[in-house]
A = this chain, B = another copy of it.
């Protein structure tokens, strides 16, 4: 099989070709520009590739409701040209194949559940902590869309006692993204995350906020695995801090061996590494092809 995959980020697009084993055979990447320029490049890339299906994991917000007249659109983004833009339709007109279409983080969750750290499990959460914070939700074998789609990065936070940073989310101030995304780290410490030493108090505070959100998400959704990706999570010292903080928060309340005894295997980095997003898009494309065959 030959499946197209598009990881459509707000900063960067990655396109690739892969197969049913999750192997990426070819890849190209370019900065996100206005939609006609960006999708022009996407279309030229896939032009001679003869893909059987295409999967797209997109920045958002996007319309995921199949019955909606704007299904497949990027909706209310302030990104120039992309507001109310028919992303999926533009591609569909060029390549009449089955499409998988979901958020970037849901795609990554699906990729991890298909070939990565949650392989064989019917639920997981995929966090990306980078320029923003996003959470993909896979529950009972299905990606969660609901009314719009998950936007868990904006959950409100309880303050770390040593932290008086106001937060930088234009909507919520001190929500998770406002307190813990890369730009929040930089605004708080006047240094980029990767410039802060691993034993800097920044990381304990960072872990506190991420762990608080994971605690809430475990309590609400009871995921079988929690996967933490994105640029900030390259700071591997965060993992033990986060695991300990989640354990302290839960305080033995959720009586599952995975949490009480095997936290190291429960809160983990992406099994697919930097390819979680692109493999996720591949998995969406593959799934669309299978659905069509039914």
Question: Are B217's CB and A220's CB within 8 A?
Answer: yes
Question: Are A158's CB and B157's CB within 8 A?
Answer: yes
Question: Are A220's CB and B152's CB within 8 A?
Answer: yes
Report chain B residues within 8 Å CB of A1.
none
Question: Are A249's CB and B156's CB within 8 A?
Answer: yes
User: Which residues in chain A, 200-252, are within 8 Å of chain B measured between CB atoms?
Assistant: 212, 215-224, 249-252
Report chain B residues within 8 Å CB of A148.
222, 254-256
Question: Are B253's CB and A154's CB within 8 A?
Answer: yes
Mask: chain A, 255-273; 1 = CB below 8 Å from B; 0 = not: 1101100000000000000
Is there a chain B Cβ closer than 8 Å to A150's Cβ? yes
- Give the distance to chain B from A6, nearest Cβ to Cβ, in Å: 23
8 Å CB contact of A142 from B142, B172, B216, B219: B142
Question: Are B139's CB and A253's CB within 8 A?
Answer: no
Question: Are B222's CB and A172's CB within 8 A?
Answer: no
Copies in the complex: 2
Report chain B residues within 8 Å CB of A156.
158, 212, 215-216, 249
8 Å CB contact of A219 from B61, B140, B154, B221: B154
User: Which residues in chain A, 125-166, are within 8 Å of chain B measured between CB atoms?
Assistant: 135, 137, 139-159
Report chain B residues within 8 Å CB of A145.
140, 222
Is there a chain B Cβ closer than 8 Å to A76's Cβ? yes
Once the chains are docked, how many angstroms separate the CA of A252 from the CA of B171? 8
Report chain B residues within 8 Å CB of A147.
123, 218, 222-224, 254, 256, 258-259
State the main secondary structure of chain A at its contact with B: loop
Is there a chain B Cβ closer than 8 Å to A75's Cβ? yes
- Give the distance to chain B from A168, nearest Cβ to Cβ, in Å: 14
Question: Are A255's CB and B139's CB within 8 A?
Answer: no
Report chain B residues within 8 Å CB of A150.
219-222
8 Å CB contact of A216 from B216, B249, B253, B255: B216
Once the chains are docked, how many angstroms separate the CA of A145 from the CA of B215? 16
Report chain B residues within 8 Å CB of A172.
249, 251, 253
Report chain B residues within 8 Å CB of A219.
150-155
Report chain B residues within 8 Å CB of A171.
250-253
Once the chains are docked, how many angstroms separate the CA of A156 from the CA of B158? 8
Once the chains are docked, how many angstroms separate the CA of A137 from the CA of B75? 27
- Kindly list 10 other residue pairs between chains A and B, CB separation below 8 angstroms, not including A139-B140, A150-B219, A155-B215: A147-B223, A147-B256, A148-B222, A151-B254, A155-B216, A156-B249, A171-B251, A216-B220, A217-B220, A220-B221
- Please give the residue numbers on chain A whose beta carbons come within 8 Å of chain B beta carbons, in ascending order: 61, 75-76, 123, 135, 137, 139-159, 171-172, 212, 215-224, 249-256, 258-259
Interchain residue pairs with CB less than 8 A apart (5): A146-B221, A151-B254, A156-B212, A156-B216, A171-B251
